[in-house]
Amino acid sequence: MKAAVLYERRKPLVIEDLDLVAAGPGEVEVELIASGVCHSDLHHVNRDTPTVLPVVLGHEGAGIVKSVGPNVTRVRPGDHVIIAFGSKCGECFYCVRGMPYLCTPASPARPRLSRGGKTINQFLEVATYAERTVVSEKNIVKIRDDAPLAICSLVACGVTTGIGAVVNTAKVEPGSNVVVIGTGGVGLNVVQGARLAGAARIIAVDVLDNKLEFAREMGATHVLNAAKENVIDRVKALTGGYGADYAFEVIGNPKTISQAYESVRKGGVAVVVGVSDENAELTFKPVWMMRQSKTLMGCAYGSSRPQVDFPRIVDLYMEKRIKLDELITRHFALDEINEAFRAMEAGEVARGILDLA
């Protein structure tokens, strides 16, 4: 089966035929229908990270169950599924506390991909830039048959992370003032999460006007172009001089993390969603943290529990309470993955999606 392999950092992915194991005990083979293209994948191309190469990237996938290994009870062939990324062992310190987004498994997943007998790693144990994948049953979330499967692939990362940051991590209350810094594929979902939570003002910040247009469509009440305006001054002016109740950083840059922290009022909460460079450092004066009683929090995977959150998010979409179609600006074939990365980096798309079927 075909997949997109990263052999070398800062080099294009290579489309190759790989060998995929048959689903073993507790594993499920999925015929992938689509995979969203997330900036987290591109970070591993552009940056030096702990991810071991060669690797098949992609972690925002949905598809149809092709076969199941022994002892699989959650799904059967033909089921429509969204694949949750990262290990989800269900047994570790974090999983048993309801925090599968921090899962720290006792043992790693077995190698499932190879070429000429040499192992190729699966990014985040899922590797969705491929025609098929084999993953643990625990990563598989069955969804309703009437939901459009390709569009629902975005629920596997961007939508769940963005909405989850608002609803699960920060627990934004109705009437809050919210700032979202960086309104790309994930930030746009923070915007719609804030709308869902009943935020009064949703202030979208980006450096590209087309992203700010997308943000308006997803529910932003105000937009700021950080390349042209002073973000902190404008946020204060829009919030009675106080600052926002909540700010979300959805880029992964210490400068914009500081901006998020500065944008919130005394007692406010700044949430870091963006993934910064491995060696990036943040400096700030902690005395103000005390004086202003501010909170700075991290947010992995929208603090989500995929088995609970994915079906809920799909229901919200099917009831037209959230928008997913509008997030998809362009479709690409698997062998256009490098072009999809270029379009994302250039800021041309809200979200790009690979059609894999």
Assess whether 331 carries a catalytic annotation. no
Among 54, 61, 187, 306, binds ligand PAD (CB under 6 A): 187
d(CA 127, CA 156) in angstroms, rounded, equals: 12
Using CB under 5 A as the binding rule, whether residue 163 contacts Zn ion is answered as: no
Helix residue ranges, H only, the chain:
39-46, 149-152, 158-164, 187-196, 209-218, 231-238, 254-263, 286-291, 306-318, 337-345
Give the 3-state secondary structure of residue 162: helix
Q: Considering CB distances under 5 to 8 angstroms, the limit depending on partner class, which of Zn ion, ligand PAD, none binds residue 205?
A: ligand PAD
Assess whether 152 carries a catalytic annotation. no
Assess whether 157 carries a catalytic annotation. yes
Q: Considering CB distances under 5 to 8 angstroms, the limit depending on partner class, which of Zn ion, ligand PAD, none binds residue 245?
A: none
d(CA 12, CA 309) in angstroms, rounded, equals: 34
d(CA 305, CA 127) in angstroms, rounded, equals: 20
Assess whether 80 carries a catalytic annotation. no
Span interacting with Zn ion, options 38-46, 205-213, 326-334, 341-349, rule CB under 5 A? 38-46
Using CB under 5 A as the binding rule, whether residue 40 contacts Zn ion is answered as: yes
Q: What does the buried/exposed string (b/e) look like for 298-329 if buried means 16 or more CB atoms within 10 Å of the residue's CB? A: ebbbbbbbbbebbbebbebbbeeebbbeebbb
Stretch 205-264 residues interacting with ligand PAD (CB under 6 A): 205-208, 211, 226, 250-252, 256
Whichever of 18 and 275 has its CB closer to ligand PAD, that residue is: 275
Using CB under 6 A as the binding rule, whether residue 313 contacts ligand PAD is answered as: no
Interaction site with ligand PAD (CB under 6 A): 38-40, 43, 157, 161, 181-187, 205-208, 211, 226, 250-252, 256, 273-275, 299-301, 344, 347
Residues with a known catalytic role: 38, 40, 43, 59, 157
